[in-house]
């Protein structure tokens, strides 16, 4: 347990050293250990059994250290994403986490890249910046995703990104601590 706690602390410390103030995190095969395909037919309680412990810790610790978090996903089942976040951090904190999915409840009108998750990230940043207490840029953002194409698009657009290996979730905290 102490090792895992140290790994979380090292990861958060590294993010802060780099000036990172925003994590954009994928849902299917990243926060979850399964791919819902946007067609989850089970209950929320069943889905909660698929939440990776690493992300419970990372999301909670990030929010405690004023690192903003958003979920950027291609799923349209946003009610499940919201339910998972509420289970991780509680309803009040979850309400402060933008969710960008394929549910047509948001749009991005900016001139930035629309490749991969970039428009999702930009839209979430617009929402977070409306509160006026954070200046989020590409250099202060990290995308965590299991899809290498989304990682490629982020890096090509100047956004830091970490490929999350769904077969080796224990590498997440190590990879964050080594971020450059």
pLDDT in tens, 57-106: 999 999 999 999 999 999 999 999 999 999 999 999 999 999 999 999 99
For the chain, the distance separating the N- and C-terminal CA atoms, rounded to the nearest angstrom, is 26
For residue 2, is pLDDT > 70?
no
Residue-number span of the structural domain to which 133 is assigned? 2-177
Which of 116, 111, 161, 115 lies closest to 138, judged by CA? 161
Contact between 138 and 19 under an 8 Å Cβ cutoff? The reply is: no
Q: Report phi then psi at 157, rounded to 5.
A: -95, 5
CA dist 166 and 149 (Å) reads 15
The backbone region for 104, taken as left when phi is positive above 0, alpha when psi lies in -120 to 50, beta otherwise, is left
Per-residue confidence band for 126, with pLDDT thresholds at 50, 70 and 90: very high
Contact between 110 and 125 under an 8 Å Cβ cutoff? The reply is: no
Provide the pLDDT for residue 110. 86
For residue 111, is pLDDT > 70?
yes
Q: Which helix (H) or strand (E) holds 143?
A: strand 141-145
Q: What is the CATH number of the domain that holds 8?
A: 3.40.50.1000
Domain count, the chain: 1
For residue 1, is pLDDT > 60?
no
Provide the pLDDT for residue 46. 98
Contact between 40 and 83 under an 8 Å Cβ cutoff? The reply is: no
């Amino acid at each position: 347990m102490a090792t895992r706690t140290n790994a979380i602390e090292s990861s958060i410390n590294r993010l802060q050293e780099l000036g990172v103030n925003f994590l954009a995190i994928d849902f299917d095969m990243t926060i979850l250990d399964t791919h819902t395909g946007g067609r989850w037919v089970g209950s929320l309680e069943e889905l909660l059994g698929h939440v990776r412990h690493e992300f419970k810790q990372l999301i909670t610790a990030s929010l405690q250290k004023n690192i903003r978090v958003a979920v950027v996903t291609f799923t349209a089942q946003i009610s499940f994403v919201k339910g998972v976040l509420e289970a991780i951090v509680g309803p009040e904190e979850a309400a402060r986490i933008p969710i960008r999915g394929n549910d047509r409840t948001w749009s991005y009108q900016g001139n930035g890249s629309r490749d991969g998750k970039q428009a999702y990230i930009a839209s979430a940043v617009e929402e977070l910046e409306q509160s006026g207490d954070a200046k989020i840029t590409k250099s202060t953002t990290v995308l965590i995703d299991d899809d290498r194409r989304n990682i490629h698009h982020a890096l090509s657009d100047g956004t830091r990104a970490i490929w999350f290996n769904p077969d080796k979730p224990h590498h997440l905290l190590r990879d964050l601590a080594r971020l450059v």
